[in-house]
């Protein structure tokens, strides 16, 4: 799932992006209100984290502008302003939740999960299934034929992307951009290494291999 963090404080933004990425999300960051609004209007995010005090355009104005444009991406507002009136203003501007700084990252993560369950105007898919392989996006639990499969965060993101494109050929470029957030090829074997590890975990001890290498093209996750 893809998140947008709009936060002008460099240390706070780095903390959020690092923590959310390690938790398996694809994260983009904007450091200024107008830039954040531009990205938000693309409609390609599952949820947003918006600081209230931003240069260029404050967070509440940004959210209100989004809502006026009928962009209903769930938004978690971050702010050092924690009075009841401040929280009410944030929610009335169009925020879906309000978290006061300083906060525990575990709480922020839980609140994001709640927003993703709500899914804006439509419920986001919370379970993926390819053959006997199943993934629960909320609990981050993966099983095959009822057997638990333990994945590292990057392996989880890789498998999620492959499952969302089941039956399709997924190229190296697609994986670099959507799983590693690279918009260039760093000329490493990072993809090969992770695919090999993932294949070992999801296909070992099973008669039928799901993860296929398509020579000269990429990879494909197929039930048959």
**In the chain, where the domains are located:** 2-118, 127-221
Global confidence as pTM: 0.55
Which residues, at least 6 apart from 187, have a Cβ–Cβ distance to it below 8 Å? Answer: none
pLDDT at 121 over 80: no
Q: Fold match between 2-118 and 127-221?
A: no
Q: What is the mean pLDDT of residues 178-197?
A: 83
**d(Cα 160, Cα 179) in Å, to the nearest integer?**
9
Q: What is the mean pLDDT of residues 76-105?
A: 90
pLDDT bucket at 122, cuts 50 / 70 / 90 = very low
Per-residue pLDDT of 49-66, as tens digits, reads 999 999 989 999 999 998
Q: Please report how the helices 153-164 and 190-203 are oriented relative to each other, as an axis angle in degrees rounded to 10.
A: 80
CATH classification number, 2-118, choose in 1.10.357.10, 3.50.50.60, 3.40.50.2300, 2.70.98.60 = 3.40.50.2300
Domain 127-221 is found in CATH 1.10.10.10:
yes
Q: Count of alpha carbons within 13 Å of 64, Cβ hemisphere only?
A: 11
């Amino acid at each position: 799932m893809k998140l947008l963090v709009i936060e002008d404080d460099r240390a706070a933004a780095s903390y959020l992006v690092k923590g959310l990425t390690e938790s398996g999300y694809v994260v983009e960051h904007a450091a200024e209100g107008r830039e954040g609004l531009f990205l938000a209007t693309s409609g390609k995010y599952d949820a947003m984290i918006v600081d209230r005090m931003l240069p260029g355009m404050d967070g509440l104005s940004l959210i209100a502008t989004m809502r006026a444009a009928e962009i209903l991406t769930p938004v978690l507002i971050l702010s050092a302003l924690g009075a009841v009136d401040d929280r009410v203003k944030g929610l009335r501007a169009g925020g879906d939740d309000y978290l006061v700084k300083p906060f525990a990252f575990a709480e922020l993560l839980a609140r994001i999960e709640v927003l993703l369950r709500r899914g804006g105007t439509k419920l986001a898919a919370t379970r993926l299934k390819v053959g006997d392989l199943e993934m629960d996006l909320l609990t981050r639990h993966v099983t095959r034929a009822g057997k638990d499969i333990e994945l590292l965060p990057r392996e989880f993101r890789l498998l999620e992307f492959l499952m969302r494109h089941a039956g399709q050929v997924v190229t190296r470029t697609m994986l670099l951009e959507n799983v590693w957030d690279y918009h260039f090829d760093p000329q490493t074997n990072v993809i090969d290494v992770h695919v090999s590890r993932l294949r070992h975990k999801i296909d070992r001890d099973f008669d039928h291999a799901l993860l296929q290498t398509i020579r000269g093209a990429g990879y494909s996750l197929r039930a048959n």
